[in-house]
Structure 1
């Protein structure tokens, strides 16, 4: 028998027993739908968690802290930073330094009229800015190799007071105006700061002691987008190149009469080339004697909990598909009992055993395929209904956006059906059908031809 003959007989046999076929297909459909919908809820949870983590910052960032144990010989110096840069998977690494020994006053305007109330001055390797993903709100990055250039944090200019005005009316209450009465961010109606930070000349006044002060002037070339995963200075601080920061620190020490001391970073940051390498890089940095912080531990715990939920939900759906498999087996056994005489005639006509087995397996597989396709279609419908309810509070603004909401690509979906889940459900349904039909098919080929012909 050819494949075409087997295919035609398979379809005819399923059509002859429509009621039984429909009920069996219905069982597979419900089982397939249960698995897909249950797993899709877990996939949506995982996607939502990843989106939440990404909104909190770059998942590849690692913050490094010095060893604060006074008895430890481990120092976060140039040698340590070179060792960190040599770790496989490190895309970018830079030390950070803030002058802690001497008070620094940051001012700008004529005769230093505007004075910063709070604006941390941080040194960083400007050659690593793009590698760490520093983004500009406006302006430009410092010219490589240029001297006395700086980058301001997004809200840097709002942290200044006007010393020419009386206390109580010499500051801008930025934070009370940043959000409206509903808690929504409202940046469009913010008042202008006292000065434009772009291209501003900013004076850095370092007080070595009460009588001994010196000043350095830098030009702000750009304003950064706030990103606390990179550093709090992107919000309210001022960044200068590490070489200039070292020069300021050494000059302050010299004017204070301190002997030359070894320069140690007050912190450092590392960016991995892939999320998968973050954990290994952290372990190696910790092995050097430093403390680290990243989103990796949070990400791993959230992924673990999501996997457990997906397994539980998938197991619940699998029970339905198991019941469907029992239904297919029962249907095929009943079919063999009813078609015993037909099997005998097929054998008497010279039909091979493998053809008879293939026919019954094809019928079982077809039931699984039809049920899988129907279950998958119903899964997409239920998924879109769930996503429609989930996004009811923030409806789509266009038809295209509505489609993206329904399929869980945008918005806050409750169910996401990726292509691999749809393909797996379809193939698994067919596999369930074939496996469930194997025992009945094997039983069918064992029926003796003469006994089958005489069967009533």
Structure 2
């Protein structure tokens, strides 16, 4: 019997006892449905975290600050009062209100550039805007964030601000589009807005910039709603707010961004952190900031998957029972097939294929059911409970993961069918033909 004939016969024999087979498929369906749904949950949340990571910064960058002096209490969560340090600077958006860190100065930037593994260093310029306004409309408070190389902005319209132009450009959060008087996200692109900043002499300055894109709000935004400025606009705002500041006090930064090799291994990144620590600095990658969250999510999904696998193992006993009964009912048929020259290997293959086919049906139906239910639940939650987390698709399905689930279930079903298949393959044809 050719392989194709063997497969066709196995498929045809699967539904000889329809009720028993359907009940077995339903048992497999429960496990496959759960496994697909939990994998979709993990995929959806991890995709959102990955998008958030790209919004925070590039994977080959590290945020560096000067290591706090524990004795002075700077940057620490000490309950007592913090001793004044003239070298400290407000942590701004990078810490709780009133928190300070030791300021980074040009000498520190030069020192960072000399550390082995550091490719480039750029100071993080903190800008505090008074308001944003379109035309003569209402003025709204807004935060300002700079675009770090490698960082991406999830856009709903337009394009990212360009870091290679002298034009003053920004990406506007979508929540500001309607209040500023624009008809839609697309209508806001190309429009000019005014941003006000106050210098050290308490003089307010208004700077005009062009909206190049409208950004989806993200939990990565430290201020909740911040515009993303290109390098030219960030420099203009920073220089304007520092008018009147003594020259030796201008170049003081809370943080700096350090670039390392994009293909750096975990060991090399760890070595770089150690080198920074030895030099008196603390380095934090984007993965460090959000990696713990991802680990917790993966742990939860793993536990849920374990329950699904238990359900599949329970279903595998149903497969064993179904095929053992099938072997018993078809004893004379097995004897006839062997008497006509079918080898034990092909008899084994026939019943194993029946088990794998039952596994395929249960897992495929379970996967399709999970996709339908998961997509519906995700859409419903996105418009209600999770409306404050734009861009989150709670349950997302990866074709590769779905295929992996189906294959895993088929393998479990195949293994479950080996016992009855072996029993059929070992049957004596003479004894089987005499079976009543």
TM-score (ref. length: structure 2): 0.63
Correspondence 1:165-204 to 2 at 5 A: 186-188=179-181
Cα separation, 2, equivalents of 1:241 and 1:5: 76
Question: Which residue is equivalent to 2:256?
Answer: 268
Note if 1:349 corresponds to 2:349. Answer: no
Question: Which residue is equivalent to 1:63?
Answer: 63
- Please state how far the C-alpha of 1:427 moved relative to its aligned partner: 0.8
- Please state how far the C-alpha of 1:93 moved relative to its aligned partner: 1.9
Question: Which residue is equivalent to 1:94?
Answer: 122
Q: How many residues align?
A: 353
Please give the secondary structure, in 2, of the residue aligned with 1:318: helix
Change (3 A) 1:130 1:21: closer
Cα separation, 2, equivalents of 1:450 and 1:179: 81
Q: Which has the greater radius of gyration? A: 1
- Please state how far the C-alpha of 1:361 moved relative to its aligned partner: 0.7
1:424 to 404, 411, 432: 404
Cα separation, 2, equivalents of 1:96 and 1:41: 36
Change (3 A) 1:58 1:196: closer
Change (3 A) 1:95 1:81: farther
Change (3 A) 1:66 1:224: farther
Structure 1 unaligned segments of length 5 or more: list them.
Answer: 99-123, 144-150, 156-177, 190-194, 207-219, 243-247, 254-262, 397-409
Cα separation, 1, equivalents of 2:362 and 2:375: 20
Cα separation, 2, equivalents of 1:139 and 1:350: 76
Please give the secondary structure, in 2, of the residue aligned with 1:269: strand
Structure 2 unaligned segments of length 5 or more: list them.
Answer: 73-103, 127-145, 154-158, 183-191, 202-206, 239-243
Correspondence 1:4-403 to 2 at 5 A: 4-55=4-55, 57-60=56-59, 61-67=61-67, 76-77=107-108, 79-84=110-115, 86-87=116-117, 90=119, 92-95=120-123, 141-142=165-166, 186-188=179-181, 239=235, 267-272=255-260, 274=262, 280=270, 281-393=272-384
1:443 to 389, 406, 423: 423
TM-score (ref. length: structure 1): 0.61
- Please state how far the C-alpha of 1:36 moved relative to its aligned partner: 0.7
Please give the secondary structure, in 1, of the residue aligned with 2:15: helix
Cα separation, 1, equivalents of 2:305 and 2:417: 23
Alpha-carbon RMSD = 5.2
Question: Which residue is equivalent to 1:453?
Answer: 433
